[in-house]
Amino acid sequence: MTLAIRRATSADLDAVAPLFDAYRRFYGQPGDLPRARAFLADRIGADESIVLLAERDGQAVGFTQLYPMFSSVRAARMWVLNDLYVDAGARRGGVARGLLDAAADLARDDGAVRIVLETTVDNTAARALYRDAGWQEEPSQWYALPLDGD
């Protein structure tokens, strides 16, 4: 079984949207495939994010979405790996690691100085994967100002 990872385009929305919808449901949001598709269409169409699509034997099995960010202190580009999801049937098969490695390659090729991500503290499987892939856990001082009541 061959794993291929490539940058998704608008032509891939029907393949990526169900994965994105499943990702949102994983984080407690109600399923809403039209909303998921529209959100991705907006991000890809406006070139506001990069979506990497993982396919195994031509079947979409996972994705990651990255957003650009900049470090004023370092005067350099960074990337936020905001979303990473692998279909349940494809887990433990190297898909997530492949997506992480592809994201790192993309950032390096872009001249970025860092990729950052956030996950819940109880997501032990993801945290183990990130550490295994060379990511470092750092204590941070994140604050959130909810603007939508959430």
In a domain, 148, yes or no: no
Q: What is the mean pLDDT of residues 92-107?
A: 94
Q: What is the mean pLDDT of residues 108-136?
A: 89
In a domain, 110, yes or no: yes
Q: Please report which confidence band the pLDDT of residue 147 belongs to, taking 50, 70 and 90 as the band edges.
A: low
Give the number of domains in the chain.
Answer: 1
Q: Which domain holds residue 123?
A: 3-132
In a domain, 138, yes or no: no
What contacts 24+ positions apart, CB below 8 Å, involve 67-73? 69/116, 71/113, 71/114
In a domain, 37, yes or no: yes
For residue 145, pLDDT beyond 80 = no
In a domain, 93, yes or no: yes
In a domain, 16, yes or no: yes
What is the value of pTM for the model shown? 0.91
Residue 80 tokens, joined: 């936020």
In a domain, 65, yes or no: yes
